[in-house]
């Protein structure tokens, strides 16, 4: 009578099946992780653009409502010049050299930027109107996006761009065109 010894361990086939299942699970989990990281980067970039644009809009609204006496150059276009209560002229525009929303003083040489360095402003438009009473209404609209050199564009391009449009209408109470 021949006695066979029972061997402890796994066969080659069992090891290959287990390795194959492990490889499939690792591939799926790494894909899920990559998608989650890409979505997080996109959400972070979009939030930065939204915060910067909302801050610029709030600053312009505040200035026009509180400190401006009347728009002195509001024929429409890419900038607006406002005569402040202090008698100084201020221009709101998109500084194309820097690509940022800016406010410049009467001298025009010093810009106060309303958006951070990592943003890019485009298509800044202004129009003025007066309703039946003749009081000034200023419409401002601009697009804002993150600079491509400050963002991991490989992550963002896979899901689209972070460009957003911001617009506001400011009614300048008691101020006529």
Q: Identify the pLDDT of residue 73.
A: 60
User: What are the strands of the beta sheet with 68-73, ordered from one edge?
Assistant: 68-73, 79-84, 89-95, 100-104, 111-113
* pLDDT single digits (tens) 109-144: 677 888 888 888 888 888 887 766 667 788 899 999
* Residue 166 and residue 145 in contact, taking contact as beta carbons nearer than 8 Å: no
Q: Identify the pLDDT of residue 99.
A: 81
Q: What are the φ/ψ torsions at residue 167 (nearest 5 degrees)?
A: -150, 155
Q: Identify the pLDDT of residue 158.
A: 43
Cα separation, 137 vs 169, in Å, equals: 7
How many of the other CB atoms lie within 10 Å of CB of 47? 11
Domain ranges of the chain: 12-176
Bridge partners, residue 143, by sequence: 122, 165
- The whole-model pTM stands at 0.73
Q: List Cβ neighbours of 134 (8 Å cut-off, separation of 6 or more).
A: 176, 177
Bridge partners, residue 90, by sequence: 82
pLDDT mean for each 10 residues of the chain (177 residues): 74 94 96 89 87 92 78 69 78 82 74 85 83 75 80 52 86 64
């Amino acid at each position: 009578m021949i006695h066979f010894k029972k061997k402890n361990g796994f066969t080659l086939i069992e090891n290959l099946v287990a390795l194959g299942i492990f490889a499939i699970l690792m591939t799926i989990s790494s894909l899920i992780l990559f998608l989650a990281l890409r979505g997080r980067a996109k959400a972070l970039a979009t939030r930065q653009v939204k915060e910067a644009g909302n801050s610029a809009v709030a600053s312009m609204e505040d200035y026009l409502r509180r400190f401006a006496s009347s728009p002195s150059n509001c024929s429409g276009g890419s900038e607006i010049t406002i005569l402040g209560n202090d008698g100084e002229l201020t221009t709101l525009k998109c500084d194309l050299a820097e690509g940022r929303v800016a406010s410049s003083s009467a001298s025009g040489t010093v810009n106060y930027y309303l958006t951070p360095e990592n943003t890019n402003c485009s298509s800044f438009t202004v129009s003025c109107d007066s309703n039946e009473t003749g009081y000034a209404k200023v419409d401002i609209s601009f697009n804002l996006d993150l600079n491509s050199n400050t963002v991991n564009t490989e992550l963002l391009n896979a899901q689209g761009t972070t460009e957003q449009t911001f617009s506001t209408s400011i009614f300048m109470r008691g101020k006529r065109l």
